Amino acid sequence: WTIEAKVRKGGTGNRKDLFYIDPVSGYVFRSKKDALRYVKSGDISSCAIKPYKQQIQDEDKVSVRLVCSI
C-alpha cells in the first residue's frame, strides 16, 4: 500500500490530505477506514474513488509518498 499526502494551500494555511492507494488495483481511498473496508469486503462501490494514475505535479501541490502495510 502507498500513502500519498497532498498539501493544499488555503487562506488560513496549508492542509494535508492523505490518500491510501492499493498497489495492485490502483484504487484510491480517502481514509484508512475505507481502505480497511475494501480489504475486508473487496467491495469498491462504496469506498473507493477512481483508479490512481500518476499525474504531473503542479507547483502549488506537494506530494509525499510513503509505503506501508495495513
Domain contains 52: no
Domain contains 60: no
How many domains does the chain fold into? Answer: 1
Say what the pLDDT of residue 20 is.
92
Integer Cα distance of 47 and 14 in angstroms: 26
Domain contains 19: yes
Domain contains 57: no
Domain contains 65: no
| 7-60 pLDDT, tens digit each | 888 777 788 889 999 888 888 898 998 899 888 888 777 777 766 555 444 444
Domain that holds residue 22: 2-44
- Contact between 63 and 5 (Cβ < 8 Å): yes
Say what the pLDDT of residue 52 is.
53
Three-class secondary structure of residue 60 per DSSP: coil
Domain contains 6: yes
Other residues' Cβ atoms within 10 Å of the Cβ of residue 37: 17
